[in-house]
Every structure is written in C-alpha cells, then in structure tokens.
Chains A and B, each alone.
Chain A
Amino acid sequence: MVVPGLLWLLFFNLVPLFGIIIAFEDYVPGLGPWRSEFNGLENFEYLFSMADAKRVIVNTIVIACSKVVLNLVVPLLFALLLNEVKNLRYKKFIQTAVYLPHFLSWVILASVILNIFGLDGIVNKIGGLFGAEPVIWFSESSYFRQLVIGTDVWKEFGFNAVIFLAALTGIDPNLYEAASIDGCGKFRSVFYITLPGIMPTIVLVGVLGLSNVLNAGFDQVFNLYNPMVYSTGDILDTWVYRIGLVNLQFSLATTAGLFKSLISFVMIVLSYTAAYKFADYKVF
C-alpha cells in the first residue's frame, strides 16, 4: 500500500536533494552536477560577502517574524471577540466571510490589492478626504514591509482563528457562571478563565510558528513587489529565484537555498521538540 506514496516521495522529494551538491561546486549546466568542479565552501564565502545577502536576510527575518507574532495575536483577539457574538446566524456569516481570503491565491489577491492601494484606489480616495497626497503604496520602500505584513495578517486571520475558536468551545461554561456569581466581570473572566483555558493552544500555535522564521511568503512578496522596493521588500526566496532562475547563477542560488533549508531545518526540529515538551503535541 505504501508503494505509490514511496515512489512519489523518492522521485520528487528525495532525488532533488542530491542536487544540493551543486552548492559546493562551480556548476556548469552543460557538464551536469556530477562532472562540474568542486570548489568547497567558496560559494558560501562569496554569498556572505555580498551586500545583497545581508539586506535580504534582514528583510526576510523582519517580515517573517512580524508575521509569526501577528498571525498569533490577531487571530487570538479575533477569536475572543467573535466568541462574544451571541447571534449564531450572524456569527456564522462572519466566519464564512473571514475564512474566504485564505482560499484565494496571492496572484488573485495581489492584483486586486495593487488596485486598491494604487494611484486611484480606494485607499487614496479615503486619504484624499483628509487631504493626503495620493501615493502608489506598494512602490514606497518605507511602507512595503508593513503592507506585506498587514495584508498577510488580513488574509489569514480568519483561518488562523479556527483553531482558537475550537479551543474556546472546549471551555466549561459553568466556570463563567461561577465566576459571575462571585462578582467577576466580563473583562476579568477573559483573563482568568478564557486565556488560561486555551493557553495550551496558544503555546502550540506560537511554538509551531517558530519554524517559519525564514518563511516570509514567496507567493505574496513575488506578486506584490517591484524593483523600487527591493531595499526593504526583497526576501530570500525571491532573491534566490532571481539569481537562480532569472540570472542563471545556479550554484549561488542553490547555496542561498541550502542556507535557508538548513536554518529552517533547525528551527522546525526545535519547534516540534518544543511543541512536544510544552504542549504535549505530537506532530507525528
């Protein structure tokens, strides 16, 4: 029964791993990976001496870490607020609406978002009411990171809230009743009942988020950025794509990709171990 799965795994997940050796050689496509000349760690030295590399790594970490934090906090707040909506049909409607962007691709959303934040988009129209100058938002390097982070949080907050909403239903309603009889207000019961009740879930989501510290979101940035915002918006994945598949510097791009894979590998192992330790959650 495992044969089809194993074959798929072997040919499309494992075989490409051997291609990693080109990170350690001066790869010439005509010769192929086996006959190109090895040059040890030269590619790594060259990579880290590039000014671009530092910029890209900083951008990646800033964007990815902000996303990790906000994609935990915002969905949590949203779930807590939605939990206070007592009208079930209204609640259902809100849920249906906010899950939707998760299922739309960044290609689609980017094209709409670029319009909305474009020169005659609705954002500039609202700004115009307050006398602000129109701006092409996604071409301003000082706004780009915030916009990327913001639009990602907007796209995913509903979907990320699913797990918190499920955890909230697991809290015993009697606790709230008891607290209310003892004179505990709404706000305090959130702090003393709700939050401790879903703490394991919060820890779990937070810890698993650790594995994403280098995933700034290729699909999103690739569809939203342009050369004017490379200084703040270019991330590892988009950079690897450009040096590798556009400029055809295969070895350098593989080296950068391997660097990312190695760090991600460490972070994933750490986060899974932590998830098991702190939240008693087994990923496998």
Chain B
Amino acid sequence: MVQRKTLGTRIFTVFLYLLMALLALSCLYPIWYAFCLSFSDKTAANSGMVTFFPVGFTTVSYSEIMGDWKFFHSFWISILRSVLGTIVSLLVMITMGYALSKPKRLFKARNIIMWIVMFCMVFNSGVIPWYITMVNYRAIDTIWGLVLCGGLPVFNLLLVMNFFRNLPQNLEEAALVDGAGPWRILFSIVVPCSVPMLATIILFTSVGYWNEFFQGMVLSSSDAHYPLQTYIQQMVVNTQTNMLNPDELKLMSQLSNKSLDAAKIFIAMIPMLVVYPFLQKYFVTGIMLGAVKE
C-alpha cells in the first residue's frame, strides 16, 4: 500500500521516534548510571557530580570489592541458589505439568490435585505462619531453605501444563506404539518440543531466584548467610532509606561511598545482563504459547 506522506504524518513520525528513544534511554539509564558511578572517583560520586559520564575515572571501587569476601560469598550463595533452584523447579514443573496435562480418563487423581494446586495459588498463609513453619523446618541459613521455602511456583506450573496440553497428541501416541514409557516420552519427545517455552520458564525462574531478597533476609540469621540481593539491600539501600533529615544526610554521604555501592550494584546486574540477550528472543513467544486457551 502506497501512502502519501503529509506534513502531519511526518511530524508524528519524528515525534514518535523521539519519544520511543527517550523511553528506551530512560530504561537503560539506571544501568549506565550505576556503571558510571562505579568507575568514578569517590569524592565526585559522593558530591553528586556524576550524571552521564564517569568523573575522575578509577577502578579503585572494584579493587576494593576484590578484597571483600562477604560480597563474594553472597554472590556465590546467589549463584548456587539460582542454579539449584532453576534445576529443581524445572524438573518438578516438567514432571508435574506433564502429568496434569493428561485428561482425567488417563490420570484419575488429576482433578483433585488440580484443585489443591489452584487453592495454593489463590490462597496463601501470609508471612508470619510461613516464617514460623520455616523456622520449625530448621530451614534458616541453609541453601535448600532458600531454594524451596518460596513454595511451588504454581503460576509457572500452569504455563507448563497448558503448553503440554496443546502439543499434538499424535507424536506421543506414535512413541507409545513403539514401546516408549511415560518417562521416555516426556524426556525424548515432549521436552524437546517445548524448548522456547522452557527457555522462558528458565529465564523467569532463574531471574526470580536471583532477584529475591526478602526470604534471604528473614531466613538468614546473620549477614554471612545473605544472598547477594539481601546483602545489597542491607548494606546499600537500608542505609539510604533510613536517613531522616538533610543534616544527617550530609553526614551520611561523607561516611558512605557511593562509588563502591554502585560497583556492587553493577556486579549484581551482570548475570542478568549476560543471560537476558540469549533468552530474550524466546520469551515473547514463550509467554504467548503458554497462555493459549483451549
């Protein structure tokens, strides 16, 4: 279709492209800002001179972090938690999602289990009963506590289930005729057919574990057990938000080291920035596929 370009549409197009650029830049700015701050001189960072570019370029913050074993310990806990958590919940979601994707005539208890799952999705106990239960489980300060205590990720389970339900049944039937059992069918046929959706789930789950700070905070007895986000929350954000008046703020900013804080924040962003481009191409299709109605 050939369209005549009027002055109005031209102005609109220019305006549109500018607006979009502005929005995109606003979304990238926090990352760039943390980056600039972390490579800036401490005094420049603290006095608020850094806005768009590093001022007084230095890597001193990063060399300071290199000697901070607590930071790296937290980093390690977070990595371990994300990896273990993603593997465990992926396996659970695949197996359970596959079983629940079968109709009642093949899997008798399906509807009962489905009701339990739904109930857990719409009703939760609240923080305190949950916390007391986790204390009774002796889940404090354990890596398994950090992995399991959030409960089964029900919403993602439903995405997996809906996706499996919409796969063509012929493939599975053919495999069944050839003598494959349910486990074989699941792992050599169903899973390979679901790569885009599973990639989405992996992205969401691992990012979810990586970004979680609250459980890390209440399930840890001391800062030696914090995952990274909790560590940052306690060391960086907490000191910022608890300030009360401008005078105290002045004092705070003399004592604090914004450049060092920014370096920690930037390092915490890195795994996210590394994973994101690889999985980004999958997630749009993944979300849509899982949400398709029957």
Contact = CB atoms under 8 A, between A and B. Distances in A.
Interface stretch (B56-64, B66-74, B229-237): B229-237
B27 A22 contact: no
| Most-contacted residue by chain A among B158, B230, B288 (CB, 10 A) | B288
Contacts of B3: 180
A107 B20 contact: no
Contacts of A197: none
Main secondary structure of the interface of B (DSSP, over half): helix
Contact of A2 (B1, B31, B100, B158): B100
A20 interface: yes
Interface in B93-131: 93, 95-96, 98-100, 109, 113-114, 116-118, 120, 122-131
A283 B158 contact: yes
Contacts of A241: 127
A97 B241 contact: no
Given A5-B157, A96-B280, A100-B31, A20 B129 contact: yes
Given A180-B1, A223-B241, A244 B96 contact: no
B96 A1 contact: yes
B244 A9 contact: no
B48 A121 contact: yes
A43 to B, nearest CB: 12
Interface string A1-27: 110111011011111111110100000
Contacts of B9: 186
Contacts of A281: 293
Contacts of A114: 237, 240-241
Contacts of A108: 30, 34, 211, 229, 232, 265, 268-269
Q: Chain B contact residues (Cβ within 8 angstroms of A): what range?
A: 35 or more
B123 A166 contact: no
Interface string B200-230: 0000000100111110001000000000011
Given A85-B17, A225-B241, A260 B96 contact: no
Contacts of B131: 244-245
Name A's interface SS: helix
Nearest to B45: A115
B132 A19 contact: yes
Contacts of A33: 132
Nearest to B135: A29
Nearest to A96: B280
B197 to A, nearest CB: 14
The range of chain A's interface size is 35 or more
A265 B119 CA distance: 9
Nearest to B235: A111
A107 B215 CA distance: 13
A265 B122 contact: yes
A227 B232 CA distance: 20
A98 B23 contact: yes
B125 A19 contact: yes
Interface in B1-44: 1, 3, 9, 12-13, 16-17, 19-21, 23-31, 33-34, 37
Given A20-B126, A119-B246, A226-B243, A1 B213 contact: no
Contacts of A245: 127-128, 131, 218
B151 interface: yes
A69 interface: no
B237 A12 contact: no
B23 A224 contact: no
B33 A116 contact: yes
Closest 7 CB pairs of A and B: A120-B48, A257-B126, A19-B129, A5-B96, A105-B211, A97-B24, A16-B125
13 contacts: A1-B183, A13-B120, A15-B133, A81-B20, A94-B23, A120-B47, A138-B241, A163-B288, A180-B1, A244-B127, A256-B126, A269-B122, A280-B293
Interface of B: 1, 3, 9, 12-13, 16-17, 19-21, 23-31, 33-34, 37, 47-49, 51, 91-93, 95-96, 98-100, 109, 113-114, 116-118, 120, 122-134, 137, 148-152, 154, 157-158, 182-183, 186, 207, 210-214, 218, 229-230, 232-233, 236-237, 240-244, 246, 249, 258, 261, 265, 268-269, 272, 276-277, 280, 283-284, 287-288, 291, 293-294
Given A1-B186, A100-B27, A139-B243, 9 more contacts: A5-B152, A12-B149, A85-B17, A97-B27, A100-B276, A101-B30, A109-B30, A136-B246, A162-B287
Interface of A: 1-2, 4-6, 8-9, 11-20, 22, 33, 78, 81-82, 84-85, 90, 93-94, 96-101, 103-116, 118-122, 125, 136, 138-139, 154, 158, 162-163, 165-166, 177, 180, 186, 218-219, 222-228, 237, 240-241, 244-245, 250, 253-254, 256-258, 260-261, 264-265, 268-269, 272, 280-284
